[in-house]
């Protein structure tokens, strides 16, 4: 089987690796001339870690990241109210790991190369012609590839989605802004702390990602009014963080000026997630806001399930089955994250609701894919 994968983010890299491991001949095209993961870091939860483990990539991620067995939920002053202790799903491995996006990308690109897949940077798809028994893919470098299957893993603004599912809904804003910046990790800051300042101040996370580094995020209502100009972003971010205590003052003063601020968006494309021999995976069909910290997780699980269901004798049918197998689980993550985001903006009368919902959904996600 010959496969063409579009996009070298987490979904595309893991799809390339998983398909190549099943014996497929894989070409992975990435529009950017170099792979530039956006944002400083992320958290891999236990179920995605299980998926990474099945690809043999978990230990490398744990080695480059920072293991978290617990998360401290604090008030704005940094006083710990509750400590979450999610269970590990893998013997001898941590419950979750935080890692810089650059390190995760290195692990995944290394695995792409080791799998024998061909990576073509600075290349994108300009056209798809599905002939029933094969797809002819026109590429921006002028080449044409004839393949059995196309995997669109080109993210939230997927061009492939526009080619195969032109009626798919558009991403929509959730009403929140997220600020993120990396910084050095003081030795005493070892735990993932989340500080809740309520709807006005927002929420802050301090996330160690290695022995040397951490990142800080701030989630707040999007009040409109545009972004500060790039040269003022770092200062405005520090001003916002000044309302928070605990580890925040110590880490805020040394944060990098490389601040990423963006409006959160969400998308859940209804089934089918494929048309003929082309299928969409990752953010291209299910973009979640980060409340459950599960977007990369779903992308990796997609890759594992896709390689599991794909059969050469019925590619279109197996792609339809892929979507059916993944939809409910991805909908659970997207809808739960949206609900948690709404409660962050308008807290429920019963303050225990967000914690109870999160616990129930994490237990559900711990079930095998």
Query: Could you give the string, one character per residue 2-31, with x where binding to ligand FAD holds by CB under 6 A and - elsewhere?
Result: ----xxxxxxx----------------xxx
Between the CA of residue 123 and those of 44, 154, 161, 344, what are the distances in Å?
Answer: 29, 12, 17, 40
Region of 39-47, 77-85, 270-278, 351-359 interacting with ligand FAD (CB under 6 A): 39-47
Which is closer to ligand FAD, CB of 14 or CB of 318?
A: 14
Tokens matching residue 142: 């002028």
Of 179, 294, 322, 327, the one binding ligand FAD by CB under 6 A = 294
Beta carbon nearer to ligand FAD, 53 or 245:
53
CB 181 within 8 A of CB 215: yes
43 is an interface residue for ligand FAD by CB under 6 A: yes
Which one among 53, 159, 238, 250 touches ligand FAD, defined by CB under 6 A? 159
Q: Whole-number minimum distance, CB 192 to ligand FAD, in Å?
A: 10
CB-wise, 154 or 220, nearer to ligand FAD? 154
Residue 138 as a binder of ligand FAD (CB under 6 A): the answer is no
Q: Which 53-112 positions form the footprint of ligand FAD (CB under 6 A)?
A: none
What is the closest distance, in whole angstroms, from the C-beta atom of residue 30 to ligand FAD in the complex? 5
- State how far the Cα of 139 lies from the Cα of 141, in Å rounded to an integer: 5
Helix, strand, or coil (residue 176): strand
150 makes contact with ligand FAD (CB under 6 A) = no
Asked whether the beta carbons of 301 and 289 are under 8 A apart, the reply is no
Decide: is 323 part of the binding site for ligand FAD (CB under 6 A).
Answer: no
Shortest Cβ 224–ligand FAD spacing (Å): 19
| Sole binder of ligand FAD in the list 103, 189, 296, 310 (CB under 6 A) | 296
Q: How far is the CB of 201 from ligand FAD (least distance, A)?
A: 18
Q: Which is nearer to ligand FAD, 351 or 359 (CB)?
A: 359
Max alpha carbon distance in the chain (Å)?
A: 62
Least distance from ligand FAD to the Cβ atom of residue 147, Å: 15
Contact track, ligand FAD, 213-232, x by CB under 6 A = --------------------
CB atoms inside a 10 Å sphere around CB 155: 22
**Nearest residue to 28 via CA among 90, 129, 111:** 111
Q: What are phi and psi of 359, to 5 degrees?
A: -60, -45
Any contact of residue 269 with ligand FAD (CB under 6 A)? no
Q: Is 308 exposed, middle or buried (0-12, 13-18, 19+ CB in 10 A)?
A: middle
What are the phi and psi torsion angles at 36 (to 5°)?
-125, 90
User: Based on CB atoms, which residue is closest to ligand FAD, 123 or 313?
Assistant: 123
Locate 48 and state its tokens. 């995605």
Q: Does 210 bind ligand FAD (CB under 6 A)?
A: no
**Sign of the torsion formed by the C-alpha atoms of 160, 165, 166 and 172:** negative
Going by the DSSP 8-state scheme, the letter that residue 349 receives in this structure is S
Structure tokens at 337: 């994250």
CB 293 within 8 A of CB 99: no
279: helix, coil or strand? strand
- Name residue, tokens 């914690």: 355
Binding site for ligand FAD (CB under 6 A): 6-12, 29-32, 35, 39, 42-43, 124-125, 153-156, 159, 178, 282-283, 290, 293-297, 299
């Amino acid at each position: 089987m010959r496969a063409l994968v579009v996009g070298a983010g987490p979904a595309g890299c893991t799809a390339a690796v998983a398909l190549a491991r099943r014996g497929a001949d894989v070409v992975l095209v990435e529009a950017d001339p170099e792979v530039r993961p956006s944002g400083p870091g992320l958290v891999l939860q236990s179920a995605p870690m299980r998926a990474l483990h099945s690809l043999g990539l978990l230990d490398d991620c744990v080695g480059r990241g920072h293991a978290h067995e617990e998360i401290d939920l604090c008030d704005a002053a940094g006083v710990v109210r509750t400590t979450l202790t999610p269970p590990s799903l893998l013997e001898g491995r941590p419950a979750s790991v935080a890692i810089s996006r650059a390190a995760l990308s290195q692990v995944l690109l290394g695995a792409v190369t080791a799998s024998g897949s061909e990576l073509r940077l600075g290349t994108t798809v300009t056209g798809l012609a599905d002939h029933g028994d094969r797809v002819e893919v026109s590429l921006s470098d002028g080449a044409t590839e004839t393949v059995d299957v196309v995997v669109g893993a080109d993210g939230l603004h997927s061009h492939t989605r526009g080619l195969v599912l032109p009626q798919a809904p558009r991403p929509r804003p959730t009403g929140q802004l997220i600020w993120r910046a990396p910084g050095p990790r003081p030795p005493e800051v070892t735990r993932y702390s989340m500080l809740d300042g309520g709807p006005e101040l927002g929420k802050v996370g301090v996330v160690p990602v290695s022995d040397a580094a951490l990142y800080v995020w701030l989630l707040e209502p999007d009040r409109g009014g545009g972004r500060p100009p790039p040269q003022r972003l770092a200062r405005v971010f520090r001003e916002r963080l000044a309302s928070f205590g605990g580890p925040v003052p110590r880490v805020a003063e040394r944060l990098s000026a490389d601040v990423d601020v963006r409006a959160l968006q969400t998308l859940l494309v209804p089934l089918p997630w494929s048309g003929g021999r082309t299928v969409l995976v990752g953010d291209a069909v299910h973009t979640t806001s980060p409340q459950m910290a599960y977007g990369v997780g779903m992308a990796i699980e997609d890759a594992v399930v896709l390689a599991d269901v794909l059969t050469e004798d019925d590619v279109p049918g197996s792609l339809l089955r892929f979507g059916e197998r993944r939809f409910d689980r991805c909908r659970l993550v997207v809808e739960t994250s949206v609900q948690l985001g709404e409660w962050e903006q308008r807290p429920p009368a019963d303050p225990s609701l967000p914690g109870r919902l999160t616990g129930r959904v994490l237990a559900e996600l711990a079930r095998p894919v």
